[in-house]
Structure 1
Amino acid sequence: MRTIDNIIEHRGGAGVSGPVTRGSIIARLERMPTNAMQIRARVLIGLATFFDGFDVIAIAATLPILIQKWHLTPWEIGFLIASGSVGQLFGAFLFPWLAERHGRVRAIAWSSGIIGVTSILCGFAPTFAAFAALRVVQGFGLGGELPVAATYINEISRAHGRGRFVLLYEIVFPIGLLASNALGAWVVPRFGWEAMYFIGGLPLVLFFVLRRLVPESPRWLAERERLGDADNAMTVFERSAKGPLAPVAHAAEFDELANRHPKRRMKDLFGPAYLKRTLAVAMLWITCGFIQYGLSTWLPTIYRTLYHAPLQLALNLAVAASVLGVVGSLVCALLVDKVGRKPIINVSFVLCAVSLALAGVCHAMSVYVVATFSAFALGFLASGFITAYVYTPELYPTSIRALGCGVGGAWLKVAAIFAPAIVSKTMVGGNLDVAFYILAAVPFAAAIVVHFLGIETKGKVLEQLEA
């Protein structure tokens, strides 16, 4: 596999002439077909996102064992689930901040290194306290990787087909969730809980290789006035395209578009230009965190403790829910450029709310009935959740795009901190139906907020969406 330096060294034939400007970089991105380097970037950064999903949900497969091993109380169980979210909350601010200053690819590499090292150390944790502390540190990487990766993949995509391109990458996150559940159902009973965290250490490899194999975002480089570097990064993508490229068009118009708005700062996320968008993003990500962490991480434990299902059955039912999450994500990827971002989010969240409410109504029935409604709820959630990763970066300009995604991710982590405690409290009180009703209210409210405050972004160049 050739490194970026090799490709730049043999850069001839890109078919580009004239001065390098922000507008010309945007024009070159918009004329560029899907190419081998984009696929490489999607695969390698997708691996980071895959293991983000894997490590986030690994606690679900190992929690029933850890409860017995360390004799955890309900409060300690809730704290253990939420501990990773505490670190993720800080990571959601730290790594987007680093990405705005030092580059998207570098921030993703750093976050992957933290994820890998701490996952391996979790496998050696001797006590509950040590394990929880490592989960907090790992959370820094987990919270920072996703928003920065979503920002990068959006920025190397052109307007036409951007939703499908981004979501076919983002699908690796629910696949990571599925792999974690499926592998956990097979690995944990045979090799012990520690094996899950040793497998989760593989992102450490990306820390060493990612920057040599994937170019930096040309949009970010141009925004930082590093036009020579932006030109080189664009050349890497252009040289990997099959066949001749179309002539660069509309560079002057893109220059005018890029220079029309001032560079934004973090405070602008909450200013008049972007406040409505930020509120819609907040509700969108709160919903994703509340349901994902309030339900997914608890399902094997709910099946085992409340319905007295054997461990293997409890894990298998959780795998089934993850399968529907992947199916929902695939359907979304095929439809998002046709019907738009807002309709996908709103319909998915309303159907998720209905499924959760039905789980509450039928909670006294068999474990299979509750598992079926829970699986459908997670499938519908996954469709809206994955759309958040293409929708959120589209709402903000390049100068604050990673920060905007980070703030969205921070709301997810805030919800993730409180959701497990709510489920834990209602479970202890024997009110599982109340937990499902509370969970159902959140996506329903989010659908209303996104409908009235969000904007549609389908088919528009990122710079056209600046307020």
Structure 2
Amino acid sequence: MQMDASIGARLDRLPLSGFHWRLLGLIAAGMYFDSFDIYIAGTVLAAMIHSGESTLGLNATFVSVTFIGMMTGAWLSGLLGDRFGRRFCYQFNLGIYGFASIAAALAPSMYWLIFFRLVMGLGMGAEIVVGYGTLSEFIPANWRGRFGTILNLIINTSLFLSTFLGWLIVPHYGWRWMFAIAGCGALIVWFMRKSMPESPRWLASRGRGQEARQIVERIEAACGSPAASGTGSAIHSTAAGMAYDDTSDTGRLAELFSRRLLTRTITAVTVLVALFTVNYAFVSWIPTFLVKQGHSVANSLGMTALMFAGGPVGSLIAFVLAERVGRKWGIVVFSLICAAFGVAYPFAQSTVVITALGFAITAGIYVLSSFSVATYVPELFPTQLRLRGSGFANTVGRAVSIVVPYAVASAFMRFGIAGVLTLIVGTLLLQALVVGVLGTETRHRSLEAIAADANPHDVEALQAGSTVATK
């Protein structure tokens, strides 16, 4: 199938406008409540341990079924999103997640709560794949990394907010209100997002070029940049459209393991396995660790809220660096920095130092999150395989995360917090090695050029097209 690369060229030429910011807001709103619900796990589980409604074993099961649901949701979103479109998928998964969250607020026991969490996980796992992938297909290349970090920043405020609200609400009104807030918010966003357009890049990759061009024309009009705004641009678009032949990309799942995409698949899987392992080993369990170490629930949640304020700070750091150092080397450098803080954490004694190091580790984790899941992974794959590639990497990451809670619980009971930090540091070092050796840089490059770079024939074709455009 011939990929109409002029669609991508026209989208990349657009100036930033209200359209891009509205799109970011709609995507961010859905992902915000998705992330909010993920992060209330630490607060809810710590409170249920304290009240006797749950045990460490049941808490581990709760976290694991979350990952089972998210793993399944990520896989299905990849298949459905590449087959039926981005718009269908993000509405479908948000509806599932919203209703399941409300049901969780009414759960009569921990066992029912675990069941509803499994259903919630389907929507949560899909949202992270479709949200980041969809955003990458609309934003111009020179801003794609920064928009990914802005989206990550918005989402990460939910980490602080969920912990802060948990500190205010859970001790006085119980944990159920946390799920009710998330569910109602998600359903409100579901209605708001009905106005979002389908991705023109996806439409073009499915041979629906006319629909894609109509949407791009509407976007160009909204941005004040009509299609006929310049002869040179029109020539460039035509050349790009002729140059990028997507016939080598059949859109089959097996393509992810072909010679041209295998290193990218390995890279994507590695960064998501590392991110989810480190994130949930630290973020989801730190309130429980503090309670087990003798802190009261209120004191534990207060310390955790201060630590998790590092999430937005990490996203701000990533915003500044995304289009300067790039995604590849940003991941490598901050994996090493975060590992260094992890080594220091077990030696901290005072509450102030523990909180400060926890803040630094959280910031480092979310720099990595901004670079990897928010931007890098969707960029690695061609349009016809973008959600399947991202979905596969997310699926493997979630599969590994299923056993992480049990590994974390075992490491903590045997070696204390030092055992947990050893797991985190080892994972970060492995990520730095794999990305440094196998990763490709995507900074300031069009999605079509990144896709063509995996195939020497396509690189030559793009270069020939560029030559034609300059004549």
Q: What TM-score do the two structures reach when normalised by structure 1?
A: 0.91
**Does structure 1 residue 395 correspond to structure 2 residue 380?**
yes
Instruction: Pick from 61, 68, 88 the counterpart of residue 79 of structure 1.
Output: 61
Aligned to 2:182: 200
> Residues of 1 paired with 2:202 and 2:43: CA distance?
39
Instruction: Pick from 348, 351, 354 the counterpart of residue 370 of structure 1.
Output: 354
**Does structure 1 residue 251 correspond to structure 2 residue 237?**
yes
Instruction: Pick from 373, 376, 380 the counterpart of residue 364 of structure 2.
Output: 380
**Does structure 1 residue 169 correspond to structure 2 residue 151?**
yes
1:367 shift after superposition: 4.2
**Does structure 1 residue 25 correspond to structure 2 residue 25?**
no
Instruction: Determine if contact 1:104/1:216 at 8 Å carries over to the other structure.
Output: yes
1:411 shift after superposition: 2.6
Q: 1:6-17 alignment to 2 at 5 Å?
A: none
Instruction: Pick from 235, 254, 269 the counterpart of residue 282 of structure 1.
Output: 269
After superposition, the C-alpha distances for 1:255-287 in whole angstroms (9 at most, x for unaligned) are 134315522321111121111111111111111
1:297 shift after superposition: 0.8
Q: 1:210-225 alignment to 2 at 5 Å?
A: 210-211=193-194, 213-225=195-207
State the secondary structure of the residue aligned to 2:141.
coil
State the secondary structure of the residue aligned to 2:166.
helix
1:70 shift after superposition: 4.8
**Does structure 1 residue 352 correspond to structure 2 residue 314?**
no
Q: What is the aligned-residue RMSD (CA, Å)?
A: 1.8
State the secondary structure of the residue aligned to 2:142.
coil
Instruction: Pick from 31, 35, 51 the counterpart of residue 53 of structure 1.
Output: 35
Residue identity in the other structure for 1:419: V
Instruction: Determine if contact 2:256/2:262 at 8 Å carries over to the other structure.
Output: yes
> Residues of 2 paired with 1:239 and 1:420: CA distance?
50
List gaps (5 residues or longer) in structure 2. 455-471
> Residues of 2 paired with 1:91 and 1:70: CA distance?
31
Instruction: Determine if contact 2:45/2:288 at 8 Å carries over to the other structure.
Output: yes
> Residues of 1 paired with 2:209 and 2:426: CA distance?
48
Residue identity in the other structure for 2:388: L
> Residues of 1 paired with 2:37 and 2:15: CA distance?
33
**Does structure 1 residue 406 correspond to structure 2 residue 388?**
no
> Residues of 2 paired with 1:236 and 1:37: CA distance?
10
Aligned to 1:11: none
State the secondary structure of the residue aligned to 2:244.
helix
Residue identity in the other structure for 1:319: A
Instruction: Pick from 141, 160, 163 the counterpart of residue 142 of structure 2.
Output: 160
**Does structure 1 residue 331 correspond to structure 2 residue 317?**
yes
1:153 shift after superposition: 0.4
> Residues of 2 paired with 1:227 and 1:261: CA distance?
15
Q: What TM-score do the two structures reach when normalised by structure 2?
A: 0.90
Aligned to 2:441: 456
> Residues of 1 paired with 2:378 and 2:247: CA distance?
17
Aligned residues: 444
Residue identity in the other structure for 2:312: V
State the secondary structure of the residue aligned to 2:376.
helix
> Residues of 2 paired with 1:452 and 1:24: CA distance?
33
Residue identity in the other structure for 1:396: F
Aligned to 2:459: none
Instruction: Pick from 148, 162, 170 the counterpart of residue 188 of structure 1.
Output: 170
> Residues of 2 paired with 1:243 and 1:220: CA distance?
21
State the secondary structure of the residue aligned to 2:161.
helix
State the secondary structure of the residue aligned to 2:101.
helix
> Residues of 2 paired with 1:58 and 1:23: CA distance?
42
> Residues of 2 paired with 1:159 and 1:77: CA distance?
42
Q: Structure 1 residues 271-280 or 411-420, which shifts more?
A: 411-420
State the secondary structure of the residue aligned to 1:401.
helix
> Residues of 2 paired with 1:425 and 1:217: CA distance?
45
After superposition, the C-alpha distances for 1:292-320 in whole angstroms (9 at most, x for unaligned) are 111111111111111x1121221122112
Residue identity in the other structure for 1:351: I
Instruction: Determine if contact 2:148/2:370 at 8 Å carries over to the other structure.
Output: no
Aligned to 1:15: none
> Residues of 2 paired with 1:339 and 1:32: CA distance?
24
> Residues of 1 paired with 2:298 and 2:239: CA distance?
60
State the secondary structure of the residue aligned to 2:211.
helix
Residue identity in the other structure for 1:424: A
> Residues of 2 paired with 1:287 and 1:321: CA distance?
20
1:84 shift after superposition: 0.7
> Residues of 1 paired with 2:240 and 2:189: CA distance?
34
Q: Structure 1 residues 138-147 or 29-38, which shifts more?
A: 29-38
Percent pairwise identity: 27
